């Protein structure tokens, strides 16, 4: 049914599905706290949805999915306008823009894009924390967060790799 | 994974190590420059730099109810003896972190360590 719909409708349906999935992952993810000495380190499951939107429709829709996901996810999680919300927002904006940039460079595969996104997410989070707390001491989390970005970025990267392969063989055009 | 991806992994690792190195170097320099501010009845009477190089010293501050004997040793400071009756300030012992303070209520003597306080925790 979806494949017979006109392209603009299909886009709206797909984006809404992506946002819905992103919200679900965002909420589920915020229940699992990684055993790291860093607050806010996450697996980046919700980021997979943003990457998918980026590969399907480009940077603008990627941003749309990421920001909607953060707004709705934190509303459902009950942290709207709390520090956690601003951390997630800063991280998502940074990572989506960075991934949009890295997608254009042909010498990175989707794994590299996700890695860059994970690193940028953690840097953006740190930047948001810096602004929120008005305390430059949060910069001491930077090395830890960068190290944490490696496994999470690789994880989402390889997940995306197999997902994109499946989508391509199903005949869906990707950027 | 392309070669670019592998380079990116390397780049992130190198920048993590570099930033850790730079931050740790900066911190050990900064940590050695806390200041102990001593005030009586709200007026600052003396400030002392607390660092590893600070020599051991003690001196007497005239509080509202008599003399307060203060001892400095490297990066820490304490009230060694005081002429107040409950001597809570003496029992508190040494303090060495920014934001900590020893307060003698009867004598209205306050010793507080100033400097960039690190973040204790972030609640989410």
Same domain, B45 and B88: yes
pLDDT tops 60 at residue B15: yes
Same domain, B46 and B101: yes
Residue B6 belongs to a domain: yes
DSSP A75-104: HHHT-TTSHHHHHHHHHHHHHHHHHHHHHH
Same domain, B26 and B37: no
Residues 6+ apart with CB under 8 A from B64: B40, B41, B106, B107, B108, B109
Q: Residue B30: its pLDDT value, please?
A: 53
Q: Running along chain A, 175 residues long, what does each successive block of 10 average in pLDDT?
A: 75 94 89 66 84 94 95 90 88 95 91 95 91 80 89 93 93 81
Q: Does B22 touch chain A (CB under 8 A)?
A: no
Domain ranges (residues) in chain A: 2-169
**Number of domains forming the structure of chain B:** 2
**A129 contacts in chain B (CB < 8 Å):** 122
Same domain, B40 and B74: yes
Q: ipTM > 0.90?
A: no
Q: Residue A40: its pLDDT value, please?
A: 59
Mutation to test the A interface, candidates B98, B122, B123, most A Cβ within 10 Å: B122
Residue B51 belongs to a domain: yes
* Residues B37-70 pLDDT 10s: 999 988 899 888 888 778 888 889 888 888 889 9
Residue B57 belongs to a domain: yes
Q: Residue A79: its pLDDT value, please?
A: 84
CA distance B23 to chain A (A): 7
Same domain, B48 and B98: yes
Residue B123 belongs to a domain: no
Mutation to test the B interface, candidates A115, A157, A165, most B Cβ within 10 Å: A115
Residue B120 belongs to a domain: no
Could you tell me where the beta strands, DSSP code E, fall in B1-124? Answer: 34-40, 43-50, 57-63, 66-73, 76-82, 101-104, 109-114
Comparing CB atoms, the residue among B5, B19, B119 nearest residue A115 is B5
Residue B13 belongs to a domain: yes
The residue of chain B nearest to residue A120, with distances taken between CA atoms, is B12
Same domain, B53 and B27: no
**A157 contacts in chain B (CB < 8 Å):** 5
Q: 39-98 in B: which are within 8 Å (CB) of A?
A: none
Q: Residue A111: its pLDDT value, please?
A: 94
Residue B119 belongs to a domain: no
pLDDT tops 80 at residue B116: no
Look at A142 and B19 and tell me if their CB atoms are within 8 Å: yes
Same domain, B25 and B52: no
Same domain, B27 and B47: no
Average pLDDT over residues B9-31: 82
Q: In terms of pLDDT, which residue wins out, B35 or A98?
A: A98
Rounded CA separation A103/A112 (Å): 9
Look at B4 and A112 and tell me if their CB atoms are within 8 Å: yes
Same domain, B65 and B20: no
Same domain, B73 and B86: yes
CA distance B46 to chain A (A): 27
> A–B: how many Cβ contacts below 8 A?
76
Q: Reply yes or no on domain A2-169 having CATH 1.10.1760.20.
A: yes
Same domain, B63 and B105: yes
**A122 contacts in chain B (CB < 8 Å):** none
Buried b (16+ CB within 10 A) or exposed e, A89-102: bbbbbbbbbbbbeb
Rounded CA separation B118/B100 (Å): 12
Look at B19 and A149 and tell me if their CB atoms are within 8 Å: no
Same domain, B4 and B38: no
Residue B63 belongs to a domain: yes
- What's the domain range around B77? 33-114
Rounded CA separation A80/A85 (Å): 6
The residue of chain A nearest to residue B117, with distances taken between CA atoms, is A137
Q: Does B20 touch chain A (CB under 8 A)?
A: yes
């Amino acid at each position: 049914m979806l494949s017979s719909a006109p392209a603009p409708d299909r886009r709206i349906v797909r984006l809404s599905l992506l946002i819905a999935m992103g919200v679900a992952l965002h909420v589920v993810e915020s229940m699992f706290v990684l055993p790291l000495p860093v607050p806010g380190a996450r697996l980046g499951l919700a980021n997979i949805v943003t990457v998918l939107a980026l590969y399907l429709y480009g940077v603008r829709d990627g941003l749309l999915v990421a920001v909607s996901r953060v707004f709705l996810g934190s509303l459902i999680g009950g942290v709207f306008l709390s520090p956690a919300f601003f951390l997630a927002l800063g991280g998502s904006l940074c990572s989506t823009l960075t991934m949009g940039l890295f997608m254009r460079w042909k010498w990175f595969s989707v794994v590299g894009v996700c890695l860059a996104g994970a690193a940028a997410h953690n840097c953006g989070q740190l930047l948001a924390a810096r602004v929120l707390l008005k305390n430059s001491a949060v910069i001491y989390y930077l090395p830890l967060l960068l190290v944490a970005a490696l496994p999470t970025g690789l994880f989402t990267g390889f997940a995306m790799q197999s997902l994109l392969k499946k989508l391509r063989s199903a005949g869906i055009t990707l950027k | 994974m392309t070669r670019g991806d592998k380079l990116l992994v390397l780049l992130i690792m190198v920048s993590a190590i570099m930033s850790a190195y730079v931050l740790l170097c900066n911190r050990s320099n900064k940590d050695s420059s806390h200041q102990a501010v001593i005030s009586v009845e709200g007026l600052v009477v003396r400030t002392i730099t607390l660092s590893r190089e600070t020599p051991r010293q003690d001196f007497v501050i005239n509080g509202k109810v008599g003399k307060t004997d203060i001892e400095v040793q490297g990066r820490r400071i304490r009230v060694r003896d005081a002429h107040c009756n409950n001597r809570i300030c003496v029992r508190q012992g040494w303090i060495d972190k920014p934001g900590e303070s020893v307060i003698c209520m009867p004598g209205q003597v306050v010793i507080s360590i100033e400097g960039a306080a690190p973040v204790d925790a972030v609640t989410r």
